[in-house]
Structure 1
Amino acid sequence: MAVRRAGSGSAPDRSAAVLDEVGAAVDALGGRFTMPYTTVALTAPRSAST
């Protein structure tokens, strides 16, 4: 992974570079990984204002 000096390049360019490197690392390890997280969504009706 290339090391870049802080502040060099624009934020989108740095993000793209990081995502490319992470993608390459995941691909090198077989192309998949499991994250131990669960997503939970809650909804509720809004009460009437008085």
Structure 2
Amino acid sequence: MKKEHLPTKICPVCNRPFTWRKKWEKNWENVKYCSKRCASSKQKNTNDRP
């Protein structure tokens, strides 16, 4: 599969698109965040809401 045809998602924390990676092959449906940094900062963002 060519790189331009890989599936993409939008990260809910940084609102940037990210593409499929080989390490996410088995659980792409469950991947929500583009990086570990965004995954850890999601907890901080939910606590900041009034």
TM-score (norm 2): 0.29
Question: Relative contact order, CA 8 A, sep 6+: which one is greater?
Answer: 2
Larger Rg: 1
TM-score (norm 1): 0.29
Higher helix content, 1 or 2: 2
Higher strand content, 1 or 2: 2
